[in-house]
Structure 1
Amino acid sequence: MKSLSLEQLQRRFDRLRSLQRRLARAPATHFIACGKRYDLPLSARTAKPCADVIPPRIVDYMAGFFDGDGCVSRHKDKYQLSVGQAESGSEVLLLFRNLLGGGIYAKGRAQGTRQVTLQWSVFSKRAQHAAAKLSRSSCFKHEKLWLAAALPERSRQNGMKPSRALCRSWSYLAGFFDAEGSIRIRYPAGLTLQIGQTSPYVLFAIQDFLARTGIQCSVHEYSGRHLLEANRTEECRLLLKRLLTAGLRVKRHAARVSLELAPGNFHHVRSKLQEVVGLQSRYRRLTAAGAERAYEIQKTRTKIDRGGGIAEIERPRLVQSQLMNLQATHRLKCAEERYVLLRADIRSQLRQGACIGNS
């Protein structure tokens, strides 16, 4: 590829992204979960009766997952509970169906980088039963679940409603992290765990829960959302191990891969991790070379901030100039790398039968 300026690369990237967003794939006809194929739609009529007794740790996990990705809606005088997930989360949808009834359906079609969304839904009496089960452990959506469960007022007055938001257990946190969490690795061997939400309500509850176990994290606002973040690598390792023990499902493989991270194997672990994570940030993620460039920039910036030794920062203007050159090169290389990746993705989608649909 001939040398292009940053502005030229951005214009070409924007045009290709516009094209990619219009590329649609055939509707999903099945999904794979637990090594077995299930045809879509997986009707509610064929579901087993709702389980009367569910182990508390499973209820906690499901409540955490529902608090993250679930929805309570009302149609006339009947309630519906639903959870949407990409196919990578189909195992959890199957768990909801097997224990609470309902069906699993394809919602929308794959277009651009958007994958087909699968949705577990349960209606009417079964929705009421499911809401009653989940409301016992819910932290964030308990009020909506109580309404859907049609619990008598006396039950609410007898202490079923918590006085404040509480993260009840590691199993609840495992479910919530499976729904809303993300794992990031930092060059050369750092870990960061994040959970995003539009409301900080449940994040503060999780922060309190983790603080009691000695794990420190912060909650701050970012791009209109609230983000809970833990960035001390050893604490992140401990947190991932506890989540795995508590029943992490959707992000189980990603967590195990991340725990392999050590000085010297960053690129190997990063490559394995990219195979199992979603596509939402695909064109913002750094390549292996980009991660090394970013690390060099951070080292140079730290050297300037700390003042360095006389020998190291003998000529401050020279170091500042070096930093600016590193940053400019990094921006240009990142633009080139994501442009090349986007072209390759579009060609791959076309080979797999994608066609231009409505934007």
Structure 2
Amino acid sequence: MKKIFIILFLCAAPLVWGEPSLKERFTSGQKGDFIVTKQSDLYSILLIKSISEHFLTLEEICVPVETYKTQNLSWRDWVKKHAPGHTSWNIYQIDLHENQLSESFSVMHRRWNFLEQSQNFFAKLLALPFYKVLPEKQRKIGAASSDEIDKRALWTPPLTIDGKSTKHPSFEVFETTWPKDMSELSQSAVQMYFNKNEPTFPFPYWIEISTTHYAMRIQIVDSGRGFFTPSGEIPRRSPRFYQTTQIHEDKVIVPILTPTYYTKFGLVAFDLTTGKSASFIVSPKKSSSPEKLDLFLEKKELDERLEKGHTYKWILTIPGHPEISVESDENFTWPVKQARKP
């Protein structure tokens, strides 16, 4: 269930009555905004590592409750010491335009995590309407009475900022219902409590997920701003070629696999016969999965610039990233004979 906690924050449909969407809450948040959650015997720090118009990068560090308690350190000091005793440390990058996870990197193991599309809930979450819960519908303290007017006080979760408890906190509550599907969230009711006095703080202070079979509550035990870690920038994967060059009618097609945060590409045809090269502007088009792209070139231009009978190798470049230069394993002789339907 821990993955669900990350997913719930990434993006959602606009809240009704003029309230901002969860996506908008994050874009109005700040680098270094953080919360600490407690689920069973595990603490998790979740913070905004960076935020731009296009990408939101979150960082999560998990540690057993008893392990952290033995450290006798504040959360900030503990992380400055590289979070001794942590059991996981991951960075997640979310594409805010495509509403999908574009990168996941394990700081602990220094490797990229597999992006499992079957657990990508973002697109579905975007379609869910969130509704503001009116005070009379919110949870109350104590048992209900027979009086016509319910005079019970509203229940509120604790609100802690930098280790200090806030007296008499005020919250806005929103809810939605997850549709019936094969996920752990199927048909569950989701409620989130946000600090009413900090409208630009992106994280909720309480999350409750309920179904007919179980209820899960995620408690936030600390929060704040200006929280930074020593993990550094998230490493970037390089794109790669995964199929041979193909021709369809007047187009040359070069299939590649690439992280979704790269959107512009260049191709250089290196002539292995003469050592000369020719650069081409390409038109990328999505293929069968988010990280598969087809790069389209005009066959007429290649006919004009490449020598018949010469052997070539492709070199893939990324504008703005001079450090990336990927050679194809394929050596092809022009003109390419293979054809396919696009």
TM-score, normalising length: structure 2 = 0.20
- Relative contact order, higher structure (CA 8 A, sep 6+): 1
TM-score, normalising length: structure 1 = 0.20
Report the structure, 1 or 2, having the larger helix content. 1
Structure 1 or 2, whichever has the larger Rg, is 2
Report the structure, 1 or 2, having the larger strand content. 2
